[in-house]
Amino acid sequence: MLSRIERIVAWLKGGYPHGIPEADYVPLLAVLRRRLTQQEIDELADRIVRDGLIPAVRVDVGAEYLRVTHELPSESEIRRISEKLAESGVDVAYVEPAWVRPAGTDIA
């Protein structure tokens, strides 16, 4: 059974032209964004509740993500964590930043 990294490399190789040196795959792996597993989302949401970061505002969710993963979160990861918190009945004050919202949907 292939590891997760081996499956990713195999996927990259499948889409790459033949003859690319093996060393050229490493930079591609570096630019791939991390996506939390559902278990990691659950654990992070539990941590936010346990640490009393309620209502959970966007910056708190992002800071906890950074604290756990040592990486800056993407907007979609912040949204996924916020949705998990909201599903659990936690007060979430998540508002997409202006650069994510389509024009004309500003919140007053």
10 and 25 belong to one structural domain: yes
Mean pLDDT (whole number) for 73-88 = 88
Give the count of beta carbons closer than 10 Å to the beta carbon of residue 2.
9
25 and 58 belong to one structural domain: no
Q: Which of 3-7, 41-45, 99-103 has the highest mean pLDDT?
A: 41-45
Phi, psi of 80 (to 5 degrees): -60, -45
Question: How many domains is the chain partitioned into structurally?
Answer: 2
3 and 46 belong to one structural domain: no
Question: Rounded to two decimals, what is the model's pTM?
Answer: 0.59
pLDDT band (50, 70, 90) for residue 108: very low
